[in-house]
Amino acid sequence: MDDLDLEKLRVPLPMPSYPEGFRSGFACFVGRPNVGKSTLMNALVGQKVAITSNRPQTTRRTVRGIVHRDDAQLIIVDTPGLHKPRTLLGERLDSLVRSTLVEVDVIAFCIPAGEPIGRGDTYIARELAAQRDTPVVALVTKTDTVDRARVSEQLLAVSRLGEWADIVPVSAAAGFQLDTVADVLCGHLPEGPPLYPDGELTDEPDEMLVAELIREASLEGVRDELPHSIAVVVEEMAPREGRDLIDIYASLYVERPSQKAIVIGSKGARLREVGSRARAQIEALLGSRVYLDLRVRVAKDWQRDPKQLRRLGFDQQV
């Protein structure tokens, strides 16, 4: 997983010029699973840099998305949803979020408009109150799912939950208040030059984006615990000689043989569907035709096994 040292990234690029008063820096999105953090980051960036799904715990790594403006460069660090960890993977994700919080200029705490504030939110609010040096902005997300009265109620409830630098209602789906969110977050960044080249929307390597797109495709239609059990690794990715085609060899890991059967489906039908959904997304991302070889493998109980976690790339983050 990510080697998270944002300080290393604070090296200014040799930019020819940037306007006086230009701001740049990092905002971290935190909140319970499934509250719309990744969807909101994608909407602000203007491109899908993180996968999303209606399954909790979709995001498992910190993903950086970059918002370019005339007056600022805002680097959003999307994090895995915080919840009570039940596995070693869960614990690692939890500590990943904690280590991210101390490195950013502003924290955005996401709470959905349509759900009552629960124990999970209270727990996170308490954690954030301990980050005394970093301003926290509360974002009430998914406002399109409820009526205006409910949004007002939720704004009030959130204001009682802690001390916030600002509270902003927003809907990524409806494009409501996206500029306001960006304005508010940029207002908390220090003055300084851009940290990423113009137009760069993420610093995720292509292999990682591809693996995530395959995982996203595989989440559709699976139930219960299975989404948690799926991990994807791109083993090899290279342009085929003399052809406008990229060959991608990827492995989709599950934890048990019974899950393997589910993912593959009757006569391989499900796996073929996942492959073609993923391929369409990957071709759009890479701007090239793609041959995707997708194998399903079992890595027994990988979420609880330190060795397997390392193999699947979840070790460098703590």
Ligand X SMILES: Nc1nc2c(ncn2[C@@H]2O[C@H](COP(=O)(O)OP(=O)(O)OP(=O)(O)O)[C@@H](O)[C@H]2O)c(=O)[nH]1
d(C-alpha 186, C-alpha 26), whole Å:
9
Q: Are 93 and 149 in contact (CB under 8 A)?
A: no
Q: How far is the CB of 31 from ligand X (least distance, A)?
A: 6
Residues in CB range of 16: below 8 A, 6 or more apart: none
59 forms part of the interface with Mg ion (CB under 5 A): yes
Contact residues for ligand X, defined by CB under 6 A? 31, 33-39, 52-54, 56-59, 80-81, 141-142, 144-145, 171-173
In the block, residue with structure tokens 């995720």 = 204
Amino acid identity for residue 80 in this structure: P
* Minimum CB distance to ligand X, residue 21 (Å): 31
296/286 Cα distance (integer angstroms)? 23
| Residue 194, contacted partner among Mg ion, ligand X, none, CB below 5-8 A by kind | none
CB-nearer residue toward Mg ion: 24 or 78? 78
279 binding partner (options ligand X, Mg ion, none; Cβ < 5 to 8 Å by kind): none
Q: Could you tell me which residues come within 8 angstroms of residue 241 by beta carbon, excluding any fewer than 6 positions away?
A: none
- CA–CA separation, 115 vs 191, rounded Å? 37
Q: Pick from 22, 23, 31, 38: which binds Mg ion (CB under 5 A)?
A: 38
Chain centre to alpha carbon of residue 312: 18
Q: Which is nearer to Mg ion, 59 or 171 (CB)?
A: 59
Least Å distance, CB 78 to Mg ion, is: 6
The annotated binding site for GTP is made up of 31-38, 78-82, 141-144
The footprint of Mg ion (CB under 5 A) covers: 37-38, 58-59
